[in-house]
């Protein structure tokens, strides 16, 4: 390992007088800068009767701001070869963009105008609404999306994590300009936002520029609503979404896990890596793809959350193989819950996760996203330096404990979407 | 081993040719303690003959299943142990494999690629088990109506050139192909004198070249398979494909025969695409994963801003021989296909009739310049570009691209629009969702 790696990312962090957190990291790998702004107003904040509010707001925010028509924003961005990526997850509305270093200051000024002074032009609201309605209709025709949304609705009934961030056609059509303006007024403020700048710009200059752009922003935004914990289920739940026009069925199979700040997140991380990530999909990939030749993809993911996020296993199979694939998943889940990892697997997992840090933190957008996540969850901006120890300290017993607590076929949520009608998924097969 | 002289610029690419014909490109990049190794073969789905479509891609899958000196049960973890990731892909002109890991894994990566070139196993049971994996991959793709339409439109656009076949293959061939078809294809094409090895990252060039020589030097060359010259005849009139299936959303595609990467018309076509749909860059591994700057692009304004479509994109891929320029449109809920198609065709007709403005040309050049900077942000992406262009033509086609783009004039863009976007050169594809069989 080089000195640079031993020093870690070592970003500069400043909290401006108005409460805005600015995090800056210099990197000279390319003559470019990534700006990643996160605002605590993700889909978990949507009111029950306006699901999709944060999503629609994110689509319209960058289409007009004081002093900027949508057309002027379009021309400015396109002239610089820059695209703004607006996205929403459960917790954050995010604006991410990469520009050439010479464009950093004007692009950050535009980002500031968009975040602080959006105008939500009515015509833009209507246009983006049409886009979202079409996107929701596309999702309804996508077995992977339908299975994943299905399993989330089973895992989190009545909980904000169980809702689709885009909302429904009905809820999107019910959102008006007043609701968008109110959303912005309530959620967007310096106390609720973090700005990360990574690239070929000195950190102090990045902080100075951010101070000039955002320094006058004084709004008392509402704190994020507290989320109820997502309890473990004590029974198996299933749903089938028949899509007889499709060639292949998608299975989503999951559990709720632990919050990102829970110390058990690290044994969970290693356990999931070996269950459904390592090499070509971990144990699941080995069994379902490599040994049984049933699927092109078989893997599992864990999403970090403020409360207990999901572990989701995903497999795409021919409809004839749905039952066999479920049996294989049940068997791997039961084996992990019963015996956890072997000592060799634990070592392989640690070595992989520690060794992959330089690769996963190579590019400006990846570093910015990592720092934004560390800031949001309050994990410390030296997380990259602490991660090796956090992984290496995990024991076999801790992995076994987290696996036996969280995983059990008889408590799984199972959603199947595709050319499949059988609903015999309520009972575990292993 | 013949090696080019050490260049004055330490960041330049060093090129070497082993005695067995393996071409090696090494570039030092010391921004992170990482190395990316890519091994490229000049074989893709365009090299397949009728009856074994999909063989190049299936062979790629088989080449992850152990070798004489890497037993099957030791494949898993072989690069992950170094924190690394590995993968591969097959497309119309090329097949490639990569590893990116910490620099201490360089020799391991070279060992894996040398084994893959010479010693893959092709056990019968592995071939059979992979057949269903690949059919699952094909069916997963068919779940996406946009992909389904793309395959149909591409097939309709070519009647002589194998670029018309999908890289995944046709289902009948995937069901009937044998182990001998796979192994024979592997042995014919996986030889050092049909390959390019690229090493980019935190290495010292001379030491890296010596390591390559140690691992690959003893692999015997073979007769280089001849790539039959196939000229697609001029298209004489518009072709149309119309699919009606269960679904929720309509899709439109307009595909035009387009110039190859080395053609002088390629750079003006890239700028024309930027003016129509926003610049994507030219890195298949990286650039097409994020939205292009397109809000002021002509087709975006005419279709998305007028609510006829929820998205529009253009694709001009760098290829060895003339392939397609494809415009893809997701039609907004409730909009008639005819209206969207007419609006798109009107935009293209206007470019042909009235040309483009100097301001549009300047903007699209800025976009391409920026995208080509952004897509150089990792050792993996840098290595991809060197190997990709070497495999489809020559590395200098990539190196000269920025200068070629800079030299393009307003008249060049108008000329290529007139030449390539003419109605008789296009294939139009419609995907219309039928009510029955819809998921609702």
Q: Model confidence over A250-308: pLDDT tens digits? A: 999 999 999 999 999 999 999 999 999 999 899 999 999 988 999 999 999 999 999 99
A363/A347 Cα distance (integer angstroms): 27
Asked whether the beta carbons of residue B137 and residue A296 sit closer than 8 angstroms, the reply is yes
A87 touches chain B (CB under 8 A): no
Q: What is the mean pLDDT of residues A182-202?
A: 97
A3 touches chain B (CB under 8 A): no
Kindly state whether residues B122 and B270 are assigned to the same domain: no
Q: How distant is the Cα of A203 from the closest Cα of chain B, in angstroms? A: 18
Pairing of strands B23-28, B195-201: parallel
Residues of B in contact with A83 (CB under 8 A): 278, 290-294
A134/A123 Cα distance (integer angstroms): 17
A354/B83 Cα distance (integer angstroms): 7
The pair of structure tokens assigned to A334 is: 């039961």
Asked whether the beta carbons of residue B330 and residue A355 sit closer than 8 angstroms, the reply is no
Which residue of chain A is at minimal alpha-carbon distance from B77? A279
Which residue of chain B is at minimal alpha-carbon distance from A27? B31
Please name the member of A31, A141, A318 whose beta carbon is closest to the beta carbon of B439.
A141
- Top residue of A99, A121, A133, A245 to mutate, by most chain B CBs within 10 Å, is A245
Task: Assess if residue B227 is contained within a domain.
Answer: no
A284 touches chain B (CB under 8 A): no
3-state secondary structure B138-152: HHHHHCCHHHHHHHH
For residue range B84-136, list pLDDT tens digits in order: 999 999 999 999 999 999 999 999 999 999 999 999 999 999 999 999 999 99
Kindly state whether residues B204 and B255 are assigned to the same domain: no
Dihedral (CA of B132, B134, B135, B140) sign = positive
% pLDDT > 90, chain B: 92
Banded pLDDT at B396 (limits 50, 70, 90)? confident
Helices (H), A26-103: 53-61, 70-80
Residues of A in contact with B359 (CB under 8 A): none
The answer for residues whose C-beta is within 8 angstroms of residue B50's C-beta and 6 or more apart is none
Task: Assess if residue B224 is contained within a domain.
Answer: no
Asked whether the beta carbons of residue A348 and residue B80 sit closer than 8 angstroms, the reply is yes
Asked whether the beta carbons of residue B371 and residue A126 sit closer than 8 angstroms, the reply is no
Please name the member of A71, A134, A348 whose beta carbon is closest to the beta carbon of B330.
A134
B325/A246 Cα distance (integer angstroms): 28
The pair of structure tokens assigned to A209 is: 């520029």
pLDDT attached to residue A25:
98
pLDDT attached to residue B394:
79
Kindly state whether residues B197 and B273 are assigned to the same domain: no
Q: How distant is the Cα of A6 from the closest Cα of chain B, in angstroms? A: 11
The answer to whether B202 and B33 are in contact (CB under 8 A) is: yes
Kindly state whether residues B21 and B129 are assigned to the same domain: yes
Residues of A in contact with B279 (CB under 8 A): 81
Kindly state whether residues B193 and B257 are assigned to the same domain: no
Residues of A in contact with B289 (CB under 8 A): none
Phi, psi angle pair for A217, to nearest 5°: -75, 105
- Tokens 């924003």 correspond to what residue? A73
pLDDT attached to residue B290:
79
Q: How distant is the Cα of A409 from the closest Cα of chain B, in angstroms? A: 25
A261 touches chain B (CB under 8 A): no
Helices (H), A261-356: 265-276, 278-284, 322-339, 343-355
Residue A324, helix vs strand vs coil: helix
Which residue of chain B is at minimal alpha-carbon distance from A353? B83
Kindly state whether residues B147 and B275 are assigned to the same domain: no
Asked whether the beta carbons of residue A32 and residue B377 sit closer than 8 angstroms, the reply is yes
Asked whether the beta carbons of residue B64 and residue A354 sit closer than 8 angstroms, the reply is no
- Greater confidence, A234 or A352? A352
Kindly state whether residues B288 and B205 are assigned to the same domain: no
Which residue of chain B is at minimal alpha-carbon distance from A292? B129
Order of strands, sheet of A310-317, starting from the edge strand that comes earlier in the sequence: A237-242, A413-418, A249-256, A310-317, A295-302
Q: Hey, how many other C-beta atoms are within 10 angstroms of the C-beta on A38? A: 27
CATH number, position B150: 3.30.830.10
Residues of A in contact with B291 (CB under 8 A): 83, 85
% pLDDT > 90, chain A: 93
Residue A234, helix vs strand vs coil: coil
Q: Hey, how many other C-beta atoms are within 10 angstroms of the C-beta on B68? A: 10
- Tokens 């060197």 correspond to what residue? B386
The answer for residues whose C-beta is within 8 angstroms of residue B334's C-beta and 6 or more apart is none
Banded pLDDT at B6 (limits 50, 70, 90)? low
Asked if the model's pLDDT at residue B68 lies above 50, the reply is yes
Q: ∠B331-B335-B338 over CA atoms, to 5°?
A: 85
B126/B62 Cα distance (integer angstroms): 8
Q: How distant is the Cα of B228 from the closest Cα of chain A, in angstroms? A: 32
Kindly state whether residues B247 and B110 are assigned to the same domain: no
Asked whether the beta carbons of residue A130 and residue B310 sit closer than 8 angstroms, the reply is yes
Phi, psi angle pair for B291, to nearest 5°: -60, 140
The answer to whether B146 and B153 are in contact (CB under 8 A) is: no
For residue range B249-308, list pLDDT tens digits in order: 999 999 999 999 999 999 999 999 999 999 999 999 987 677 899 999 999 999 999 999
Asked if the model's pLDDT at residue B38 lies above 90, the reply is yes
Residues of A in contact with B83 (CB under 8 A): 351-359
Task: Name the CATH topology of A9-214.
Answer: Cytochrome Bc1 Complex; Chain A, domain 1 (3.30.830)
Q: How distant is the Cα of A312 from the closest Cα of chain B, in angstroms? A: 19
Residues of A in contact with B374 (CB under 8 A): 30, 32, 98
The pair of structure tokens assigned to B188 is: 């014919």
Looking at the domain that runs over A237-418, which CATH code has it been given? Answer: 3.30.830.10
Asked whether the beta carbons of residue B376 and residue A295 sit closer than 8 angstroms, the reply is no
A115/A216 Cα distance (integer angstroms): 13
Dihedral (CA of A390, A391, A393, A396) sign = positive
pLDDT attached to residue B144:
96
Which residue of chain A is at minimal alpha-carbon distance from B202? A2
A28 touches chain B (CB under 8 A): yes
A246/B143 Cα distance (integer angstroms): 5
Kindly state whether residues B92 and B190 are assigned to the same domain: yes
pLDDT attached to residue A94:
98
Beta bridge partners of B66: none
Task: Assess if residue B99 is contained within a domain.
Answer: yes
pLDDT attached to residue A426:
45
Residue A242, helix vs strand vs coil: strand
Kindly state whether residues B264 and B175 are assigned to the same domain: no
Residues of B in contact with A127 (CB under 8 A): 304-305, 307
A26 touches chain B (CB under 8 A): no
Phi, psi angle pair for B329, to nearest 5°: -130, 130
Radius of gyration of chain A from its Cα atoms, rounded to whole angstroms: 23
Helices (H), B190-336: 205-216, 266-277, 298-299
Residues of B in contact with A9 (CB under 8 A): none
Please name the member of B100, B279, B374 whose beta carbon is closest to the beta carbon of A32.
B374
Please name the member of B134, B140, B370 whose beta carbon is closest to the beta carbon of A100.
B370
Please name the member of A81, A245, A286 whose beta carbon is closest to the beta carbon of B439.
A245
pLDDT attached to residue A282:
97
A316/A322 Cα distance (integer angstroms): 9
Banded pLDDT at A425 (limits 50, 70, 90)? low
State in Å, rounded, how far the first CA of chain A is from the last one: 45
For residue range B184-199, list pLDDT tens digits in order: 999 999 999 999 999 9
Asked if the model's pLDDT at residue A423 lies above 90, the reply is no
Kindly state whether residues B189 and B249 are assigned to the same domain: no
Task: Assess if residue B228 is contained within a domain.
Answer: no
- Tokens 């910490």 correspond to what residue? B102
With residue A99 as reference, give the H or E element that holds it.
strand A93-100
Task: Assess if residue B125 is contained within a domain.
Answer: yes
A278 touches chain B (CB under 8 A): yes
For residue range B350-365, list pLDDT tens digits in order: 999 999 999 999 999 9
Q: How distant is the Cα of A54 from the closest Cα of chain B, in angstroms? A: 19
pLDDT attached to residue B7:
67
A22/A368 Cα distance (integer angstroms): 12
B172/B169 Cα distance (integer angstroms): 9
What torsion, rounded to 10 degrees, do the Cα atoms B40, B46, B50, B53 define? 50
Residue B240 burial (10 A CB sphere; 0-12, 13-18, 19+): exposed
Please name the member of A28, A83, A356 whose beta carbon is closest to the beta carbon of B292.
A83
Q: How many CB pairs under 8 A join A and B?
A: 215
Asked whether the beta carbons of residue B139 and residue A294 sit closer than 8 angstroms, the reply is no
A395/A236 Cα distance (integer angstroms): 29
pLDDT attached to residue B2:
83
The answer to whether B118 and B219 are in contact (CB under 8 A) is: yes
Q: How distant is the Cα of B154 from the closest Cα of chain A, in angstroms? A: 21
- CA B317 to chain centroid, in Å, comes to 7
% pLDDT > 70, chain B: 97
pLDDT attached to residue B438:
40
Of B394, B103, B92, B71, give the one whose Cα is nearest residue B262. B394
Asked whether the beta carbons of residue B85 and residue A356 sit closer than 8 angstroms, the reply is yes
- Top residue of B374, B378, B433, B437 to mutate, by most chain A CBs within 10 Å, is B374
Domain that holds residue B299: 239-434
- Greater confidence, B177 or B440? B177
Number of structural domains, chain B? 2
Q: What is the mean pLDDT of residues A99-105?
A: 97
Dihedral (CA of A409, A411, A415, A421) sign = positive
Asked if the model's pLDDT at residue B437 lies above 60, the reply is no
Residue-range domain boundaries for chain A:
9-214, 237-418
% pLDDT > 70, chain A: 97
Pairing of strands B85-90, A85-88: unpaired
């Amino acid at each position: 390992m080089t000195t640079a790696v031993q020093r870690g990312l070592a970003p500069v962090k400043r909290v401006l007088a108005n409460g805005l957190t600015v995090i800056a990291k210099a990197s000279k790998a390319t003559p470019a800068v990534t700006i990643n702004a996160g605002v605590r107003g993700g889909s978990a904040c949507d009111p029950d009767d306006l699901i999709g509010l944060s999503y629609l707001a994110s689509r319209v925010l960058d289409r007009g701001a004081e002093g900027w028509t949508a057309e002027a924003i379009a021309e400015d961005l396109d002239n610089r070869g820059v695209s703004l990526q607006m996205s929403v997850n459960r917790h954050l509305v995010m604006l991410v963009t990469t520009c050439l270093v010479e464009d950093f200051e004007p692009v950050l000024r535009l980002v500031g105008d968009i975040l602080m002074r959006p105008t939500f032009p009515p015509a833009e609201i209507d246009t983006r609404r049409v886009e979202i309605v079409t996107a929701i209709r596309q999702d309804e025709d996508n077995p992977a999306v339908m299975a994943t949304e299905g399993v989330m609705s089973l895992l989190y009934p009545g909980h904000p994590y169980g809702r689709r961030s885009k909302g429904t056609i009905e809820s999107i059509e019910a959102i008006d300009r007043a609701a968008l303006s109110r959303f912005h007024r309530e959620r967007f403020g310096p106390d609720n936002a973090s700005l990360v700048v990574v690239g070929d710009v000195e950190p102090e200059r990045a902080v100075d520029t951010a101070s000039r752009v955002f320094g006058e922003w004084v709004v008392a935004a509402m704190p994020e609503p507290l989320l109820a914990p997502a309890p473990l289920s004590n029974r198996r739940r299933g749903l089938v979404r028949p899509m007889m026009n499709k060639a292949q069925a998608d299975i989503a199979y999951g559990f709720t896990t632990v919050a990102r700040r829970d110390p058990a997140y690290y044994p969970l991380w290693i356990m999931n890596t070996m269950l459904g990530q390592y090499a070509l999909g971990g144990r699941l990939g080995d069994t379902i793809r490599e040994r049984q030749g049933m699927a092109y993809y078989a893997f599992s993911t864990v999403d970090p959350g403020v409360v207990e996020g999901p572990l989701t296993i995903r497999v795409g199979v021919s409809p004839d193989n749905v039952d066999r694939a479920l049996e294989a998943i049940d068997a791997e889940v039961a084996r992990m819950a019963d015996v956890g990892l072997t000592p060799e697997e634990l070592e392989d997992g640690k070595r992989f996760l520690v060794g992959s840090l330089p690769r996963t933190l190579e590019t400006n957008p990846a570093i910015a996203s990592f720092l934004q996540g560390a800031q949001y969850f309050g994990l410390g901006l030296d997380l990259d330096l602490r991660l090796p120890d956090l992984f290496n300290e995990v024991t076999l017993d801790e992995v076994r404990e987290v696996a036996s607590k969280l995983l059990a076929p008889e408590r799984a949520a199972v959603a199947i979407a595709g050319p499949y009608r059988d609903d015999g998924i309520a009972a575990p097969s292993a | 081993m013949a090696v080019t002289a050490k260049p004055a610029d330490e960041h330049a690419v060093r090129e070497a040719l082993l005695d067995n014909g393996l071409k090696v490109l090494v570039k030092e990049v010391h921004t992170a303690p990482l190395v990316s190794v890519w091994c490229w073969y000049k074989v893709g789905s365009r090299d397949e003959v009728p009856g074994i479509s999909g063989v190049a891609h299936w062979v790629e899958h088989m080449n992850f299943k152990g070798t004489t000196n890497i037993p099957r049960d030791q494949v898993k973890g072989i690069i992950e142990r170094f924190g690394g990731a590995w993968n591969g892909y097959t497309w119309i002109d090329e097949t490639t494999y990569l590893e990116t890991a910490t620099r201490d894994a360089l020799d391991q990566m070279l060992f894996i690629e040398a084994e893959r070139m010479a010693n893959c196993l092709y056990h019968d049971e592995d071939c059979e088990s992979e057949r269903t994996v690949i059919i699952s991959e094909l069916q997963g793709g068919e779940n996406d109506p946009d992909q389904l339409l793309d395959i149909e439109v591409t097939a309709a656009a070519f009647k002589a050139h194998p670029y018309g076949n999908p890289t995944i293959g046709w289902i009948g061939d995937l069901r009937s192909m044998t182990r001998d078809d796979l192994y024979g294809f592997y042995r014919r094409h996986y030889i050092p004198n049909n390959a390019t090895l690229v090493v980019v990252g935190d290495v010292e060039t001379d030491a890296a070249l010596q390591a390559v020589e140690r691992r690959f030097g003893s692999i015997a060359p073979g007769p280089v398979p001849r790539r039959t010259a196939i000229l697609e005849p001029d298209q004489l009139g518009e072709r149309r494909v119309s699919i009606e299936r269960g679904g929720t959303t309509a899709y439109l595609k307009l595909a035009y025969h387009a110039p190859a990467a080395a053609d002088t018309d390629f750079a003006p076509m890239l700028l024309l695409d930027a003016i129509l749909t926003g610049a994507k860059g030219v890195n298949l591994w990286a650039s097409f994963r994020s939205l292009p700057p397109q809000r002021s692009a002509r087709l975006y304004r005419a279709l998305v801003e007028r609510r006829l479509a929820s998205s529009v994109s253009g694709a001009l891929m760098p290829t060895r021989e003339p392939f397609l320029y494809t415009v893809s449109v997701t039609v907004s809920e409730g909009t008639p296909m005819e209206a969207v198609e007419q609006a798109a065709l009107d935009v293209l007709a206007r470019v042909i009739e009235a040309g483009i403005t100097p301001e549009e040309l300047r903007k699209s050049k800025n976009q391409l310049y920026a995208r080509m900077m952004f897509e150089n942000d990792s050792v993996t992406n840098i290595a991809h570009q060197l190997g990709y262009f070497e495999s489809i033509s020559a590395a200098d086609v990539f190196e000269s691209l920025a200068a070629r783009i800079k030299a393009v004039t307003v008249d060049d863009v108008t000329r290529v629009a007139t030449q390539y976007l003419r109605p008789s050169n296009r294939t139009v594809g419609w995907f219309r969702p039928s009510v029955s069989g819809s998921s609702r």
